[in-house]
C-alpha cells in the first residue's frame, strides 16, 4: 500500500477542432451550406488564424453552443473515490471508471489530503487506518472465498474500502462542458483534490486549443467579480455590485 500520485493524460480530441467550430459558427450566420465550405477549410483557403479570430469574436458575444461539437478525452489516475463522486455530477460527459468489483484491491493505493499530511499525529492515524482497511479487505475476501463466494468475494469485501482509495478513470467532455467544469472546479472554493485535477486538465487544453481555453478558469475571472455572495466568497475578487447585477 502506498500514497497515490495524480496523473492526467490527454488521450484524444476531435480532429480538425478549429475548422469544425468555425464551420459550426458560420452555419449559424450564413445562408449557404457549410458542407460546401468544408473542403476549402481542409485545403487551407481560410487560414487557421482567420478562423480562430472569427471564433474568438463570436465567443465574446456569449454565443458558445457550437463549441459542443469538439470534445476531449482524458485518462486520470491517482485520484480518490471522493473525487470521482464529485466528478460524475457533471452529467454532460462520459465516464469509464476502474471497478472495485472486478479489480483486486488487496494492496490499494490511497490519496493523502495535504492538511492531514502536514500534521504528524493526523498522518500517523490516517495511514494506520489505511493499513487496517487493507487488512480487513483481504481477510473478508479470504473468508468469503472459503464460503463459496469465489471470484465474487471482492464485490462484498470492497464495502470496507475508504473514500481515500485510489481510482482511475477515463472522462470525455465537450468544450462547452469543459468550460463550465473549469468555472466551477478551478475556483478557490472547490475541494482541493478536484481543483488540482481541473487545473492540470486546463493547462493541457490551453496548449491544445487556446482559442477556446485561453481565458478559461474560475468564473470570477470571466465576470470580474465573485458571484458566490458574501457568505461564500473567498475574497479573491470583489463581490457583485448592484450595478453589475442589474
Question: Of 224, 185, 220, which Cα lies nearest the Cα of 201?
Answer: 185
81, 158, 176, 185: the active-site residue? 185
C-alpha cell at 36: 460546401
CA 185 to chain centre: 8
Q: Provide the number of structural domains found in the chain.
A: 2
**Among this protein's residues, is 219 annotated catalytic?**
no
> pLDDT tens, 164-211?
999 999 999 999 999 999 999 999 999 999 999 999 999 999 999 999
Domain of residue 148 covers 106-164
Clarify whether residues 200 and 229 are in a common domain.
Answer: yes
Name the DSSP class of 241: P
Clarify whether residues 160 and 206 are in a common domain.
Answer: no
Is residue 22 one of the residues assigned to a domain?
A: yes
Cα dist from 138 to 2, 95, 129, 188, whole Å: 16, 28, 14, 38
Round to whole Å and give the CA distance between 55 and 7: 31
Total-model pTM: 0.92
Are β-strands 94-97 and 71-80 bridged in parallel, bridged antiparallel, or unpaired? unpaired
> pLDDT tens, 52-97?
999 999 998 989 999 999 999 999 999 999 999 999 999 999 999 9
Is residue 2 one of the residues assigned to a domain?
A: no
Round to whole Å and give the CA distance between 241 and 49: 37
Amino acid at each position: 500500500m502506498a500514497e497515490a500520485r495524480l496523473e492526467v493524460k490527454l488521450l484524444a480530441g476531435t480532429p480538425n477542432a478549429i475548422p469544425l467550430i468555425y464551420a459550426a459558427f458560420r452555419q449559424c450566420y450564413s445562408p449557404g451550406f457549410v458542407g460546401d465550405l468544408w473542403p476549402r477549410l481542409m485545403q487551407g483557403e481560410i487560414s487557421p488564424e482567420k478562423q480562430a479570430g472569427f471564433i474568438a469574436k463570436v465567443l465574446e458575444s456569449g454565443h458558445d453552443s457550437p463549441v459542443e461539437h469538439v470534445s476531449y478525452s482524458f485518462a486520470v489516475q491517482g485520484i480518490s473515490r471522493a473525487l470521482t463522486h464529485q466528478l460524475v455530477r457533471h452529467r454532460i460527459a462520459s465516464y469509464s471508471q476502474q471497478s472495485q468489483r472486478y479489480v483486486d484491491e488487496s494492496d490499494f493505493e490511497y490519496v493523502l489530503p495535504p492538511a492531514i499530511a502536514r500534521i504528524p499525529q493526523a498522518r500517523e492515524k490516517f495511514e494506520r487506518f489505511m493499513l487496517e482497511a487493507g487488512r480487513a479487505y483481504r481477510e473478508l475476501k479470504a473468508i468469503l472465498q472459503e464460503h463459496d463466494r469465489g471470484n465474487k468475494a471482492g464485490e462484498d469485501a470492497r464495502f470496507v474500502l475508504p473514500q481515500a482509495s485510489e481510482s482511475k478513470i477515463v472522462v470525455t467532455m465537450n468544450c462547452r462542458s469543459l468550460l463550465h467544469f473549469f468555472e466551477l472546479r478551478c475556483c478557490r472554493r472547490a475541494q482541493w483534490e478536484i481543483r488540482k485535477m481541473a487545473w492540470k486538465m486546463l493547462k493541457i487544453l490551453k496548449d491544445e486549443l487556446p482559442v477556446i481555453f485561453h481565458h478559461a478558469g474560475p468564473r470570477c475571472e470571466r465576470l470580474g467579480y465573485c458571484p458566490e455572495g458574501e457568505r461564500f466568497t473567498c475574497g479573491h475578487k470583489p463581490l457583485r455590485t448592484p450595478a453589475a447585477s442589474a
